[in-house]
Amino acid sequence: EGRIADMSLNDILDALFPAGHAVAVANQVITGEAQTAQGPVAVLGTTDAAAIDHAMALAMADFTLDTVEQHPGRPLIFLVDTCGQALSRSQELLCLNGSLAHLAQCVDLARKQGHVSFSLVTANAVSGGFLSFGLMADRAYALADAQVRVMDLRAMSRVTKIAHERLVELAANSPIFAPGAESYVRMGGIEAIWPGPSAALLESALSAARQAGMASDQRMDAGLTRGGRNLATGVARAVQDSAVGG
């Protein structure tokens, strides 16, 4: 077998859905459906390291809403390959931030309507392009070759005013600063890394999502257990207790 990075989207789909799939790609947006041992699923996402723009965000939001309306309860599987949100003045004027927020709200609506979901990072997962739908899923997974990061260390240095050299030192010991799928596993953001696209792993992930149902998000707890986020759970519980007490 070749490296995952050398696999085409159709190769990945064939490996994930050997029972068949009918998936279209338009403007780097993936939409369609596929067959699993547990029934049909909706498939959507992005490919070719897409820079998600206004039109792409709305296309995925529309497909999500159509699935909620036409196929109640159908699981949603997000395939993620994005270099982040599109960076241009025109996209800002079109309120891309609002379009990405709308997409995230649609994923949340689907969850509240009983649609379980999970995402699989097939190549790249960067910044707002990942946050708006990949991390909005109930659980996230990544293929072994996947590159996952929210912000490059040099960009982080410009924003935080912390020297790049210091951030490199911090990244060596803390997954919060370090890019890579392994760091996100330690932080609980990614459930597990798959060695390759696999129908068996997909079925297992789908079963886990169904069993969890509307249960509370366990990612902060996973980050604590794995030693990647040592403070988030305690802070969140303190805030919650304070709100209840008030």
Answer yes or no: is pLDDT of 1 > 60: no
Question: What's the pTM?
Answer: 0.90
In the DSSP assignment, the letter for residue 23 is E
Interacting residues of 184 by C-beta distance below 8 A, sequence separation 6+: 140, 142, 148, 175, 190
Q: Are 119 and 80 in contact (CB under 8 A)?
A: yes
Q: How far apart are CA 187 and CA 208, in angstroms?
A: 19
Phi and psi angles of residue 151, each rounded to the nearest 5 degrees, phi first: -150, 135
Q: What is the pLDDT of residues 156-207, one digit of tens each?
A: 899 999 999 999 998 888 888 787 889 899 999 999 999 999 999 999 999 9
Element (H, E) at 34: strand 29-36
Q: How far is CA 195 from CA 57, 115, 167, in A?
A: 29, 27, 29
Interacting residues of 28 by C-beta distance below 8 A, sequence separation 6+: 46, 47, 48, 50, 56
Answer yes or no: is pLDDT of 246 > 70: no
Give the whole-number percent of the chain exceeding pLDDT 90.
Answer: 67
Structure tokens at 140: 């996230």
pLDDT at 5: 65
H helices within 113-213, ranges in order? 127-131, 153-160, 164-173, 181-187, 199-212
Task: Look at 13-22, 68-77, 109-118, 220-229 and tell me which has the smallest mean pLDDT.
Answer: 220-229
86 or 5: which carries more pLDDT confidence?
86
The rounded radius of gyration (Å) of the Cα atoms in the chain is 18
Structure tokens at 102: 């709308």
Burial 141-151 (b: 16+ CB within 10 A, else e): bbbebbbbbbb
Kindly state the average pLDDT of the residues 203-220. 85
